[in-house]
Amino acid sequence: MPKTAAPVQTAVQNLPALTGVRALAASMVFWHHYLPPVLLVGAFWHSFFREGHAGVSLFFVLSGFLIYYRHSGPDALNRGPLVRYAVHRFARVYPMYFLIVVGMAMLGWAYDPKQQNVGLFLWTLFSQLTFIRGFSDQFKFIGVGQGWTLTTEATFYVLFPFLLWLIRPLGFAITLFTVYAVGLTLWAVGELLCYHDYFRPFQFVLFYTFFGRAWDFFAGMMVAEYVKKRAAVAQKGKPWGAFPLFTLLGLLGIFGCLSAQALMETGTDANPGWTTPSLLVFIGLMPVAVSAFYYGLVTERSWVAWLLKTRVMVALGAASYTFYLIHVGGPFAVINRLVWTFHYIGGFLALQFLAYMLWKCVEEPLREWIVGGWRRTQP
């Protein structure tokens, strides 16, 4: 990546396109779960939409980018910044997750006789609220099924200070290999114990845990390091500036990876039938393409960046976490009945509206209350 003469912007928070990306990622996951029928879009595009689970990769790479950019300063490992980091992460992620998990559990208890078992009810709640369900292939989808990704995210959040401590003297490559070594060790222990499929089988560890998806986060962190040191942030001015090379390469790369996976996988919608080449594309190449895309959004002017930072996309991006948590299960089933004439399109739009209202009235006020309360305790 060439050096530029323009100064580096001091805060990624001022790049709304990165918020708009969240809406794109959440929408990809939605259409992965609610596939357009083959008769409507054709076999290839049906398979292409099936690969929308890659929206999770967009979230993981973005997490790596933003966390490293905001929390890797010279004093990042001091007590004050570490406490501030922990409070902000907790306030951003946990309150809404807690409410939705508990709410879904109560709905399940009320309407599904199979869930009216005290032991099962308490275990389901405990394993979700502590994130331990995401370490087990047997339990990963219980309750709010899409919440398995929160285990991966939370693992990264907890380990980030240790990763930063290692990255400083050892660099990204050795630290990444260290993470993979830990993952292989946990997989070996999981195979030895065979306890409820914790850290086994290998494909589960590779696809669902931080120790298999570490490259997603590291790719984002490496781009953030480059941006912090040398890259110019050019977000002002008209959206038709210089040729957006990295934005274009990133988009083409993402499209190419999704297309390759759609063509190489041989299973069904419920079980895509991962092949070794498709796994290599998804685990290895997708984070590279996503990172190039984000670098382009941060350093280039383009119509894509302009679109992602419009008020609508920023609003949907801000509400994307809630949208992601509620898009499978009770809320969508209810909304879809109300807009049955429009089927998934109507349900998708109604769910976006519901998510935005929950973000505006619940998620954001709770976050501000927690962060504000912590700030008031500081000297």
Instruction: Share the mean pLDDT of the chain.
Output: 88
Mean pLDDT value across residues 185-202: 96
- Per-residue confidence (pLDDT) for residue 82, from 0 to 100: 96
Name the more confident of 333 and 131: 131
| CA atoms in the 13 A half-sphere facing the CB of 117 | 6
Asked if residue 363 has pLDDT above 90, the reply is yes
- Per-residue confidence (pLDDT) for residue 338, from 0 to 100: 67
Q: How far apart are CA 204 and CA 287, in angstroms?
A: 18
The amino acid at residue 57 is: S
Asked if residue 113 has pLDDT above 90, the reply is no
Which residues, 6+ apart, have CB-to-CB distance to 188 below 8 Å?
none
Residue indicated by tokens 């994307």: 320
- Per-residue confidence (pLDDT) for residue 86, from 0 to 100: 96
> 339 pLDDT band (50/70/90 cuts)?
low
- Per-residue confidence (pLDDT) for residue 266, from 0 to 100: 66
- Residue 209, helix vs strand vs coil: coil
What one-character DSSP code corresponds to residue 230?
Answer: T
SS percent in the chain: helix, strand, coil, step 5: 75, 0, 20
Q: How far apart are CA 148 and CA 214, in angstroms?
A: 15
- Per-residue confidence (pLDDT) for residue 379, from 0 to 100: 74
Whether residue 152 contacts residue 134, with contact meaning beta carbons closer than 8 Å, is answered with yes
Q: How far apart are CA 296 and CA 61, in angstroms?
A: 14
The amino acid at residue 312 is: V
Task: Report the run of H or E that residue 354 belongs to, with start and end.
Answer: helix 343-358
Mean pLDDT value across residues 57-78: 95
Which residues, 6+ apart, have CB-to-CB distance to 41 below 8 Å?
49
* Torsions phi, psi for 103 (to 5 deg): -60, -45
- Per-residue confidence (pLDDT) for residue 11, from 0 to 100: 38
Whether residue 265 contacts residue 273, with contact meaning beta carbons closer than 8 Å, is answered with yes
pLDDT digits (tens, 9 = 90+) for 19-63: 999 999 999 999 998 888 888 888 899 889 999 999 999 999 999
pLDDT digits (tens, 9 = 90+) for 263-320: 887 666 556 667 778 888 999 999 999 999 999 999 888 999 999 999 999 999 999 9
Mean pLDDT value across residues 250-272: 83
**How many Cβ atoms from other residues are within 10 Å of residue 318's Cβ?**
21
Q: How far apart are CA 253 and CA 286, in angstroms?
A: 7
Token code pair at residue 84:
């501030």
Mean pLDDT value across residues 87-96: 96
Token code pair at residue 205:
């560890």
* CA-closest candidate to residue 153, choices 81, 221, 63: 63
For 24-78, give the DSSP string.
HHHHHHHHHHSPPPHHHH-HHHHHHHHGGGGHHHHHHHHHHHHHHHHH-STTTTS
The CA distances from residue 230 to 22, 199, 288, in Å, are: 25, 39, 19
Percent of the chain with pLDDT over 90: 68
| CA atoms in the 13 A half-sphere facing the CB of 106 | 6
Mean pLDDT value across residues 216-221: 98
Residue indicated by tokens 């960046």: 305
